[in-house]
Structure 1
Amino acid sequence: MTTTVTAPRAAPPVPAAPPAGRRAVRAGGLLLGLALLAAVVLASIAVGARAIPLDQVWHGLFGWTGTADDRIVRELRLPRTALGVAAGAALGLAGAVMQTLTRNPLADPGLLGVNAGASAAVVTAISVLGVTSFTGYLWFALAGAGVAAVLVNALGGSRAATPVRLALAGTAVNAALFGYVNGLQLTDLGALETMRHWSVGTLAGRRGDLLPAALPFLLAGAVLALAVARPLNAMALGEDTARSLGARLGRTRVLSIVAITLLSGAATAVCGPIGFVGLMIPHAVRAFCGPDTRWLFPYCAVFAPVLLLGSDIVGRVLAPPTEIEVGVVTAFCGGLVFIHLVRRRKVAQL
């Protein structure tokens, strides 16, 4: 009698998490980010050269009586914190758009010459026109950022631009504009002294009227960034695939560059050039939300202010009674992250 032995069947593959489950996880992470942002906002208002208890922070926000703590909360720390939230969200969102557009994991808004254009316009306004107010810097910085972005797009081939050509054009424009900035500063010591207070990148000493002036540009840039999230998803699959999916590549590139210009230009105008926020945050949040820009962009807009305000708090407490500017803290942290990224074995290529 012949006995037939059948091999045991392999265990069926574990099904992937349903889309609804993934959405729930991503939404939960976003809510966690909002809670963390609220905690950092309270800490930013409470921590400083003069520590203010949380009950006094609440009193200063909602029960104004004109005490010294109330004035510190309302007139100094609340505008500083609000500016940090807006600038952080703008830089994080601009970095995410920049990396997706160029398909370069090490890109940040400065790659398109936005920061260099803003700096060149501001130093020109200081040295040639005698502008000394931060409100005046806003308009010149936005104009300079816009001109630089248009120039980079034109050099990169306009609608026929590729990520590589955009990156090369941005590098060339950056080098030329920063050379101009350094040369003008060396020939005008007054401009050098004034520029020093702007170019360090800080939230300290900024007046409360700066944010209302910059807010329309920040909101317009955020709306544009969210509007191009879906076509940027298609472009991440390759240009041929994006065309087959109906994406309009030239229009998407132009709108993305406009969004980067508005977001990064306005943030740079009011806070000075703050580096690495747009580089670090997209990498950090992709581990939770994945590469889908429809989730990546909101995550960056929430977690980037957490990084910026957290760095600002660290700068306040490291060397009391003086402060270390937030641009210095983010540059130090960003340098470490950059070294980690370039040493990874699997860094995405252009």
Structure 2
Amino acid sequence: MEKTVHFIMYHYVRDLKNSEYPTIKGLDKELFEKQLAYLLEHYTPVRMDEILAAYQKNDFSDIPENGFVLTFDDGYIDHYEVVYPILKKVGVQGVFFPSTMAWKENKLLTVNRIHFILAAVELKGSLAMKQLVADCFEEMDFYRNQGVTLLSNEELYQNLAVANRWDPGEVIFVKRLLQNALPEEIRTEIAKHLFQKYVGCEESTFAEKLYMNFSQMKEMKENGMFFGIHGYDHYWLAKLPKEQMEKDIDMALEAMDEIIDKECFVMNYPYGNYSEEVISYVKQKGCGLGVSVEARGAQLGVDNRFALPRWDCNDVYPKGEKV
């Protein structure tokens, strides 16, 4: 018997208006509390352990209809300082997916360099956004002058600057350019340069403040929270060569060994990017369930258990109207 469960995806959850970067694409703490109150009134919380057990038995009769699961990506300090106390107080399990390199090596992930570059730019207005695009063009011109073959700035902008439901084209251009459109070494160096220009903070200091540490995660695990895998370096896994993709997943599994069940772990693909090859490998490594970023309710017993859809938190009342 199939059951619908609403997996909901969160990233930053903080007191936005009083934070250093109020324009970061996150959810305000007060709004999170309102969402949780709404969900508890209209839906039923489900533990990830219960869902994994249901799949192992192939019996979903014990899963409540219209259940919900709250998931939190990337391992931000917000999850320990803001989310965890709220969930612990009301007895709801959160499911957390830290990006492993961030806490293990105290390194700032490129995805977060991009987030805070854009947040700093947004504080300065539309002219600053145009300057950021121009800076990206200038950085790429530098590498072309060094003999690196890249598409022209105009071609790259046309190919990448495709607006989605959250961001305008110029923002998507910067995100996609620095996430995966350029060779890794080049995009990392460009992101570091732009981070220094627009944010102006030493990266290891910034990382230490941005992410949870492992002792905090272990405390959360001991108090009923659930942890899964989100890769090591937050790559688009399906775009990696096979050996690099496997190494990234292996390193994440090894680092998270103390707080996951390696015989039946949950995989969360960074950027929602996966392929049959990626799914095949995580299954081989012991994955019991995977989550994606397709925005709808998950039909347990019908949907691919290794790529279950998740709503974005902006879809949830009172921010949105889909859940």
TM over 0.5: no
With the shorter chain as reference, the TM-score category is under 0.3
The structure carrying a bigger helix percent of its residues is 1
Q: RCO higher in 1 or 2 (8 Å CA, sep ≥ 6)?
A: 1
Larger gyration radius, structure 1 or structure 2: 1
